[in-house]
Amino acid sequence: MRDAVPEMAGALLAQLRARAPRVHCITNAVAQNFTANALLAAGCVPSMTLSADEIGGFVASAHGLLVNLGTLDAERRAATSIAVAAAHQHKLPWVLDPVFVDRSPGRLAFARNLVARGPRVVRLNHREFEALADTAAKRENVMAYARETRTIVAMSGATDLITDGTRAVGIGNGHMFMAKVTAMGCAGSALVGGFLAVEPDALRAAAAALLMLGVAGELAVRQAQGPGSFAAAILDALNTLDAPTLIAHAKVV
Amino acid sequence: MRDAVPEMAGALLAQLRARAPRVHCITNAVAQNFTANALLAAGCVPSMTLSADEIGGFVASAHGLLVNLGTLDAERRAATSIAVAAAHQHKLPWVLDPVFVDRSPGRLAFARNLVARGPRVVRLNHREFEALADTAAKRENVMAYARETRTIVAMSGATDLITDGTRAVGIGNGHMFMAKVTAMGCAGSALVGGFLAVEPDALRAAAAALLMLGVAGELAVRQAQGPGSFAAAILDALNTLDAPTLIAHAKVV
Amino acid sequence: MRDAVPEMAGALLAQLRARAPRVHCITNAVAQNFTANALLAAGCVPSMTLSADEIGGFVASAHGLLVNLGTLDAERRAATSIAVAAAHQHKLPWVLDPVFVDRSPGRLAFARNLVARGPRVVRLNHREFEALADTAAKRENVMAYARETRTIVAMSGATDLITDGTRAVGIGNGHMFMAKVTAMGCAGSALVGGFLAVEPDALRAAAAALLMLGVAGELAVRQAQGPGSFAAAILDALNTLDAPTLIAHAKVV
């Protein structure tokens, strides 16, 4: 599996560029602009509408959906309910990013209900996973959690871990500046939504998305003097990255 | 007309810098930051408040108004109604940007009602125009649409078309990166709002704004490695652009 | 006092980096992204949630609070009331940034009520101060206003003035590009919130924050061709700035 990931990701990247999938994003107010730019740079078409009377139509005409729980409010809760129902109706894959569930009990309960509604991928960090898993046994075993919830867990960290409970892929690409730019993880989740639109195997889609972001981050560092110039440079890198470069830089473990 | 556009635009740019008009923006959540920065770089003073109890006062003390329909929600619908009424009361010019009316029937109906309320300029792309025009005859004839609705249509594309139904100006400036940065069109519409504040002839104002943005885009490409660095560079170019440079680079057809 | 400010600010900067305080921000829609990135670059951990059912918990687990009145709406008004109460309950310092109170009577009344609830610092520009002070005598005397309201006034300008009514510090650092990037003042207020988390003397905290931002601005200009590249470069500079560099560049008057 692991040896095949770089070539697989390169092939999916080429498909993403060719198909330009529409990704509808319910995402937090801080991340909307950077997420839209990351999707555009990668070759996707973003939309961000949240209103209850429009979001069903936007989701119906999209190819992937992101549900990110940052700055969760009444409008976003209502939008999520409608959007997830529309995604199921139209067999649209969706990804959940349960931002800051470790800091809000209400959001944590909302996120757990969403996990039960069948996201293809849950992308989160280690603290968020610790909160989301509801027993000590699950907290200690990401693969068991993925098996039980029948979702792909994509957990970011020094090495990103992506697992469906049976298979597991680790991605060692990235740079510490990625934690110094707000919305970087959110943008990564949106990219997962884009790759889900071109690849039915959600583990492969998530691995390709996070590999693309991590390699773009490494290329961007060469142009950056700090997190501000890095944020611009990673968009440049997402735009120019091609399959051979992705494959050449991939660190899959 | 066409031969005179570059010099006219140069003169308006000088006026814009001198007068620093206040432009109030009802715009989508994705575009607010970039739009504010584009207005500041061009020499305008942006404000973005949406709340029903404040927007009338902000519009009353502004010199131009933008109504952009991206991420349209209940707050933005209410704000638009109040703001357009205030604009009419205070004889403030306003520009409509009917984002994504091709993807939402409810938004399309809202946009058509707004066109009937007399924006000075409607700035949009080709897909949005196709949706907005309600008959096949109008879809085939942008000038007829402009005549019938008594507005200026500014339609972006490889060549921007600006027409009042009698006169028509084409602008060939720009770069493909402009379609890779979210909110670029939205920022262009906001600049139209700024130029409307210094030029009563809305065709001239719209042409000057889109010429300024297109030339800034061409200058920005020289500093850019991709859409991320381009987004910063076009703000730099908007800030430094002067009348002679604008005139020298103008491609008016 | 003044001679000691640079070394004091350098020591506080080192503490900020070491402690990485959580700063919860109620801030305007235009400023959320840049403010989060400025806080991250400076070494803080931002959060931005506004919803009434979550904000109390976020504030309770934060170390500083920003209340910025830009794009004030019903959600932000409700959030502010809850957040300020939570801040008082948990003895959390908070900073008020009364954006555009000179352009909205309703916002001005809201801001005056907030001043009475005891922010540690009020950061604003000269026009906003003129509006906030309710008598001619106070308008002419910033120190008298600070004494009477028992708050620190931090007024930005060519020279920033920071006073508690008895002591006063002037900071001459900065660059004119800082007025050409939206949310720069908002980000400065957020940094005040970060420094309040590591320094109980609010005058010192505010002076350190504005000195850090001003020096970062001067360093950023060297990398910038205009306000777009400047916005990225000041984030880079906030990230790399250390105590010796801060002290070497400080212009305290």
- The per-residue pLDDT for range C240-252, each reduced to its tens digit, is 999 999 999 999 9
Instruction: Please state the residue numbers annotated as binding site of A.
Output: 48, 123, 156, 183
Considering only CB atoms, C73 lies closest to which of B37, B51, B223, namely: B51
Considering only CB atoms, B73 lies closest to which of A50, A57, A238, namely: A50
Interchain contact C78–B (C-beta under 8 A): no
Considering only CB atoms, C239 lies closest to which of A104, A183, A227, namely: A227
Give the phi and the psi of residue C236 in degrees, each rounded to 5. -60, -45
Q: How many cross-chain Cβ pairs, A to B, lie less than 8 Å apart? A: 88
Interchain contact B94–A (C-beta under 8 A): no
Select from C5, C9, C47 the least CA-distant residue to C190. Answer: C47
Using CA atoms of B51, B56, B57, B58 in order, give the dihedral in degrees to the nearest 10.
70
* Strand B168-171 relative to strand B64-68, pairing: unpaired
Contact (CB<8Å) B70/A48: yes
At B34 the three-state DSSP class reads helix
Substitution target from A45, A71, A236 for chain B, most B beta carbons within 10 A: A236
pLDDT by residue, tens only, chain A of 253 residues: 678 999 999 999 999 999 999 999 999 999 999 999 999 999 999 999 999 999 999 999 999 999 999 999 999 999 999 999 999 999 999 999 999 999 999 999 999 999 999 999 999 999 999 999 977 777 679 999 999 999 999 999 999 999 999 999 999 999 999 999 999 999 999 999 999 999 999 999 999 999 999 999 999 999 999 999 999 999 999 999 999 999 999 999 9
Tokens of B147: 């005549």
User: In this structure, is residue B183 part of a structural domain?
Assistant: yes
C227 contacts in chain B (CB < 8 Å): 37, 40-41, 235-236, 239
User: In this structure, is residue B49 part of a structural domain?
Assistant: yes
At C40 the three-state DSSP class reads helix
Distance CA C217, CA B207 (A): 35
Considering only CB atoms, B227 lies closest to which of A33, A49, A235, namely: A235
- Judged against a pLDDT cut of 90, whether residue C3 lies above it is answered with no
* Chain C adjacent subunits, 3+ CB pairs under 8 A: A, B
Select from A209, C226, C232 the least CA-distant residue to B228. Answer: C232
Considering only CB atoms, B54 lies closest to which of C106, C183, C227, namely: C106
- The per-residue pLDDT for range B38-65, each reduced to its tens digit, is 999 999 999 999 999 999 999 999 999 9
Q: How far is A224 from chain B (nearest CA, A)?
A: 11
Contact (CB<8Å) C225/B234: no
Distance CA A47, CA A44 (A): 10
Interchain contact B37–A (C-beta under 8 A): no
Minimum CA–CA partner of A60 in chain B? B103
A33 contacts in chain B (CB < 8 Å): 30-31, 33-34, 182-183
- Judged against a pLDDT cut of 90, whether residue B2 lies above it is answered with no
At B123 the three-state DSSP class reads strand
pLDDT number for residue C138: 74
* Strand B152-155 relative to strand B160-163, pairing: antiparallel
- Judged against a pLDDT cut of 90, whether residue C136 lies above it is answered with no
Considering only CB atoms, A228 lies closest to which of C48, C57, C232, namely: C232
pLDDT number for residue B242: 97
Confidence bin at B168 (pLDDT 50/70/90): very high
Using an 8 Å Cβ cutoff, are A224 and B229 in contact? no
Q: Which residue intervals of chain C are DSSP H helices?
A: 5-19, 32-42, 52-60, 74-89, 105-116, 126-132, 136-139, 142-149, 184-196, 202-221, 227-240, 243-249
Mean pLDDT of B162-169: 96
Tokens of A80: 């999520």
Total residues found in chain A within this entry? 253
Q: How many domains does the structure of chain C reveal?
A: 1
Q: Which residues pair with A163 in a beta bridge?
A: A153, A168
Distance CA C241, CA C218 (A): 11
Total residues found in chain B within this entry? 253
- The per-residue pLDDT for range C14-35, each reduced to its tens digit, is 999 999 999 999 999 999 999 9
Range of the domain at B195: 2-248
ipTM of the complex in this document: 0.96
- Judged against a pLDDT cut of 80, whether residue C153 lies above it is answered with yes
Provide the phi-psi class of C174: left if phi over 0, else alpha when psi is between -120 and 50, else beta: left
Q: How far is A15 from chain C (nearest CA, A)?
A: 31
User: In this structure, is residue B191 part of a structural domain?
Assistant: yes
pLDDT number for residue A99: 97
B183 contacts in chain A (CB < 8 Å): 33, 36
* DSSP code for B167: -
Interchain contact C232–B (C-beta under 8 A): yes
User: In this structure, is residue B253 part of a structural domain?
Assistant: no
Contact (CB<8Å) B33/A36: no
Using an 8 Å Cβ cutoff, are A46 and B196 in contact? no
Tokens of C77: 């008004």
Q: How far is C186 from chain B (nearest CA, A)?
A: 13
Contact (CB<8Å) A104/C57: yes
Provide the phi-psi class of C183: left if phi over 0, else alpha when psi is between -120 and 50, else beta: left
Confidence bin at B150 (pLDDT 50/70/90): very high
* Residues ≥6 apart with Cβ < 8 Å to C44: C16, C20, C21, C22, C23, C64, C190, C191, C194, C197
Question: The CATH number of the domain where C122 resides is what?
Answer: 3.40.1190.20
pLDDT number for residue A2: 75
Minimum CA–CA partner of B237 in chain C? C226
* Sequential DSSP letters for B59-108: HHT-SEEEEE-TT--HHHHHHHHHHHHHHHHTT--EEEE-TTGGG-HHHH
* Sequential DSSP letters for A112-171: HHHHHT--SEEEE-HHHHHHHS-SHHHHT-HHHHHHHHTSEEEE-SSSEEEE-SS-EEEE
Contact (CB<8Å) A57/B183: no
At C227 the three-state DSSP class reads helix
Lowest mean pLDDT among A121-135, C110-124, C231-245: A121-135
Contact (CB<8Å) B104/A50: no
B82 contacts in chain C (CB < 8 Å): none
Within 10 Å of residue A204's Cβ, how many Cβ atoms? 25
pLDDT number for residue B134: 79
